Amino acid sequence: MQTLLLWLFYISTFYAFIPGMISRIFGYRVFRKGIGRSEFALTFDDGPDPHYTPLLLDLLKRYDAKATFFVVGSHAEQNPEIIKRIHDEGHLIGIHNYVHKTNWLMRPATVKQQIKRTDDIIYSITGVRSTYYRPPWGIVNLFDFSKRRQVQIVLWSAMFGDWKEKLGAERLAGKLLNKLGPGEVMLLHDCGTTLGADPKAPEHMLVALERMLDEARRRGLRSIRIDEMIRQVQTSPVTQLSYGKRLVVGLWLIWEQCFQFLFRIKTIAPADPFLHYRLRKYQGEPVLMDNGERLTKGDPIIELHIDNRQLFELGVHSRSSAQLAIRMIRRMEKDLPVLAERIAADVDLAEAKALYGVSMLNRGPEKFGFMVLDLPDGWFARSTKFYLSILLSVIHPAGGARLKERSEVLVPKMMLMPVSELLGRMNHQRPQKQVKARERVREEELALEAELPGATVVH
């Protein structure tokens, strides 16, 4: 008996548990996130529901949002008019088995029958075959991977627990807004009659979703169908990169996440990150800045970092170095005013003397008031050039050829701008504490001059 149970454990582990973990953690043979810059995907499971799905369709229509519905075949069979409306209004229909039952508990032949039966129902109503499949609870088995040529398995990047009524519309809206962003594949439910769900839960989902769609419209984000999102990935220049380059990019992006965590890097616009920053002390040689201030070792500075993922996407989608520079300038034009506002409202940031950054992509920063200076020769300059050269060969439109053609000008540069210069350009002032402190110093200087006739205080 124990031997039999052990064999059942081994079989279930290799049949379902391990494939499920591989697909969820590594995304093997499944789609779960896009790469668009202004698009996200709304996906709805378990429907159609005769009450809630029509209300959902009305809501999507008001916001001109397209979605993907992974329908349960038995529900579709009972509500053909709703399936037809979903199709007629331009949404995508996917398969969620004929009955809402986990693939862990079904033989491969049974899963195949579930998919085919649901597809036949969809085809009989819409005249279109479905090739997009989401297994219930996102649980795949070993043989689901072999169906890759027949169906595209679609999972998700964000799930919210909206099948439970106790979550409430307010908390659900907060979760939705927190995950709203480009490339996200959001999992929601338009039916509450499946096992473990609450019948009235979709009511809260509709309220929360409307709030999120309002915010998406304000941010210039739009919901698209899964097939459109998949096409974006398939036609992206990223997919044309060699395995080696993709490996470099992957490691690069992982390192950025670790770096941001370890050094507590902050983001100027979390919803669409481009510039990151941290407050630290300057460690370089003394520099006389354009406003006459001298930056010396130990002075507080705001160190800027460009988001690696955004930089990579800008690079692979640019046809030339000039276009890449223009796109980076536009992003700086968007983020620098936000940074100025943050500095003007933060006493600690306002203590900084200068904005500081190092980059090989240094065309155009003078436009914003930055000084562009050579790095002092040494270990830091040489190691920085080696590191950035590898990355530039991946992200630059001309790739490694660019490095060979003009290697003498592709050197890392230091960029500096006095914080007072940024605030002045953006019509902001330092926080009140800073202003009063400077006024107090000036009053003390004037008092000293009055006490010592003929004395001059050097500024």
CA distance 263 to 396: 27
Q: How many CB atoms lie within 10 A of CB 343?
A: 24
91 has catalytic annotation = no
- How far, CA to CA in Å, does 352 sit from each of 133, 148, 421, 423? 53, 55, 12, 12
Looking only at Cα atoms, what is the longest distance across the chain? 104
Q: Which of 91, 96, 100, 189 is catalytic?
A: 189
Q: Which of 45, 190, 272, 307 is catalytic?
A: 45
CA distance 135 to 279: 47
Side-chain-facing half-sphere of 425: CA atoms under 13 Å: 17
CA distance 124 to 20: 32
- How far, CA to CA in Å, does 382 sit from each of 248, 285, 398, 399? 20, 16, 23, 20
**Quick check: 223 and 42 in contact, CB under 8 A?**
yes
Q: Sign of dihedral through CA atoms 72, 110, 26, 22?
A: positive
- How far, CA to CA in Å, does 298 sit from each of 127, 194, 285, 394? 71, 62, 10, 35
CA distance 152 to 31: 8
The 3-class secondary structure across 251-267, one letter per residue, is HHHHHHHHHHHHCCCEE
- 96 alpha-carbon distance from chain centroid: 27
Q: Which two tokens stand for residue 93?
A: 């229909």
Give the residues across from 371 on adjacent strands: 416
51 has catalytic annotation = no
**Residues acting as catalytic residues:** 45, 189
